[in-house]
Structure 1
Amino acid sequence: MAILEIKDISYSYDKKTNVLSDVTAELEIGKLYAILGPSGSGKTTLLSLLGGLDVPMKGKILFDGENIAKQGLANHRRNHVALIFQNYNLIDYMTPVENVKLTAQQDVVPILERLGLTMAEMNRNVLKLSGGQQQRVAIARAIASDAAIILADEPTGNLDDDTAAEITTLLKESAHQLQKCVVVVTHSNDVARQADAVLQIRHRKLLMKEVAQ
């Protein structure tokens, strides 16, 4: 069942040249999607539209059959999606544990441990962590949330290979075991191979290909 539907979306930065043109797709719960494409092709723009951070010039985004613009974009961001940004967007005066607890109903320590943080690091101010550690906290916050959709912009970009592989596994588990719809913008072929489907942006169009597991 499609939890997110993209209906004839077009988007332009300058109202002249489209970055995305008449894009249509259906995204299901229980699946991990990878969005691929060259730099500047509109990958992050599409993610922003799905998350209600921007609005299309044409077309609409549906969540569970309802237009997110009519529901209210703030409502969509608050209740339906968990976002993993490249710039982390953590609360800078809090610890990792406190940041993740903002979205979690369960014990957050096991999630942070699995992402490679020590107990000392979990209880340290996030500004005293490295960029890679802050990225892990941002990922933990999204995974621990109750949101039906996880949207991630290059979540493994600043991480070593072992941690990147573990995070990809966690995102896949979030889709398959927790029945979330997980959408990842990535340049990583490893992430794409783990995905259930690849969304390829080429020449302002979106092509979806199921991945054989």
Structure 2
Amino acid sequence: MRIDIVFDTVCPWCFVGQRRLDQALAQRPGLAVEVRHHPFLLNPDMPAGGIDRRLYLDRKFGGAHRARRVLDAVTLAGRSAGIAFNFEAIRRMPNSVDSHRLLLAAGQGPLAGRLLDTVFRAYFQHGEDIGDRRILRRLASEAGLCAERLEAELGTSSGVVEVMAANSRAHAMGVAGVPTFIFDHAYAVAGAQEPDVLLRLIDLALETGVKVPVTVG
């Protein structure tokens, strides 16, 4: 089975959704799965150096009180997925393009999944600026990504074009929010769904064998 995930590295619900997918797949240990991740930019106009996190939250949610309500909901959902969110540690809202390029350098496969989890934990649990290339280089090393592969990616502009193109494809497909999961090119669902919901879709895709033309790259 192929599972495509449209996501952004600065989306806390994407962190929750990835963990819930892992929980769902753990209930089908014999299933051979190919997981592919596809960039989506929640903030395509974010300055290269990012902006102050509190300013971002005020603009996005219209004030600290509303922002706190949203973050409390994510924190609660994260606990059931084994995630200890630490939003207070985050000082900057980064531009996520380079973090997506980091994942492009990893390719598709187990390394990409391990690296994505490393990036999520660095940002959401330790408040690290994942728009900072120095931090991305360290995270790449921790996850086992070859330094030469990362430098080759960051040394050209083709990765930026690829991230932007993937973002455009997602919008053209009708993706309006992330995470979005597509199971075997047959069924799609948006949001950090509970593991049992994801498991039902996995089983449905396996049972029907339906294929529809969903182009995600």
TM over 0.5: no
Scaled by the length of structure 2, what TM-score is found? 0.25
Scaled by the length of structure 1, what TM-score is found? 0.25
More strand by share: 1
More helix by share: 2
